[in-house]
């Protein structure tokens, strides 16, 4: 059974978002986990990233070892009790995962039941693709295809349109609607502070903010902390816990 904790971002520096995330991590991992393998590839300064996470308490009291400190990254993935992928630039993150050939290993670990935590960019790569990231493509990965362990797309840091704004660029909602003009996957707009917990084909919404669900040809729908979103995971097999994507 797959077990995922995915955060909408903006949860490291701001209270009570940080406390909510830390509590969610503790409840998610429980007492059977001693050490978490952290993947910092979404930022350039790996050591600084890890130090900041520990300083802010995002390690939640678990042993926090970064993959870049291991001689063999593949072996680190294989032996990981839990995996945490942090935020930053999604294109940089996916590029490094392809470069190091880690996507298949991480995917297999998730399907094998290893807990996975992803925030912002780390949540984006759990999706079929990274097409709904907000980030600038500062580097070109071999493909937009990501882990594909969930059957829907995530747009982290989702912001609602400001009716009083004079900004002439596209709103986040407009960008998602443009995605749906060319793609069929449902998009989950995760506001900062929102958290989703996926256990097999069940999905729970928690954290300090709600989410907006976008489906092709339909009006967006609102959900708040405490709501169930099982319908988003309908394509995950209840017997194997694996995602079955319909080929287009």
Which residues are identified as catalytic?
120, 135, 157
Angle, nearest 10°, between helix axes 103-111 and 90-99?
100
Contacts of 144 (CB under 8 A, 6+ apart): 94, 129, 130, 131
At residue 95, the 3 state secondary structure works out as helix
**Regarding beta strands 116-119 and 83-85, do their DSSP bridges make them parallel or antiparallel, or are they unpaired?**
parallel
Counting Cα atoms < 13 Å in the Cβ hemisphere of 47 gives: 1
C-alpha distances (whole Å) from 67 to each of 55, 106, 238, 248 are 18, 12, 31, 35
At residue 85, what are phi and psi to the nearest 5 degrees? -110, 120
Place of tokens 């609102």: 222
């Amino acid at each position: 059974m797959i077990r995922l904790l995915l955060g909408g971002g903006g949860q490291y520096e701001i209270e009570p978002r940080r406390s909510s995330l830390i509590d969610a991590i503790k409840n998610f991992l429980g007492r059977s986990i001693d050490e978490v393998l952290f993947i910092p590839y979404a930022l350039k300064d790996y050591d600084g990233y890890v130090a900041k996470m520990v300083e802010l308490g995002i390690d939640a009291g678990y042993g926090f070892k970064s993959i870049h400190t291991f001689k063999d990254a593949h072996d680190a993935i294989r032996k990981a009790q839990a995996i945490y992928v942090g935020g930053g630039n999604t294109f940089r993150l996916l590029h490094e995962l392809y470069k190091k050939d880690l996507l298949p290993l991480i995917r297999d670990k998730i399907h094998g039941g290893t807990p996975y935590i992803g925030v912002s960019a780390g949540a984006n790569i759990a999706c079929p693709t990274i097409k709904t990231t907000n980030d600038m493509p500062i580097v070109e990965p071999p493909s937009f295809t990501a882990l594909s362990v969930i059957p829907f797309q995530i747009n982290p840091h989702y912001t609602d349109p400001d009716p009083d704004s004079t900004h002439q660029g596209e709103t986040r909602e407009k960008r998602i609607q443009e995605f749906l003009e060319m793609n069929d996957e449902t998009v989950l707009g995760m506001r900062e502070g929102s958290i989703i917990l996926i256990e097999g084909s069940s999905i729970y919404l928690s954290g300090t903010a709600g989410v907006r669900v976008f489906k092709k040809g339909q009006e967006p729908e609102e959900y708040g902390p405490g709501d169930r979103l099982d319908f988003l995971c309908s394509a995950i097999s209840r017997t194997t816990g694996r995602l079955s994507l319909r080929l287009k």
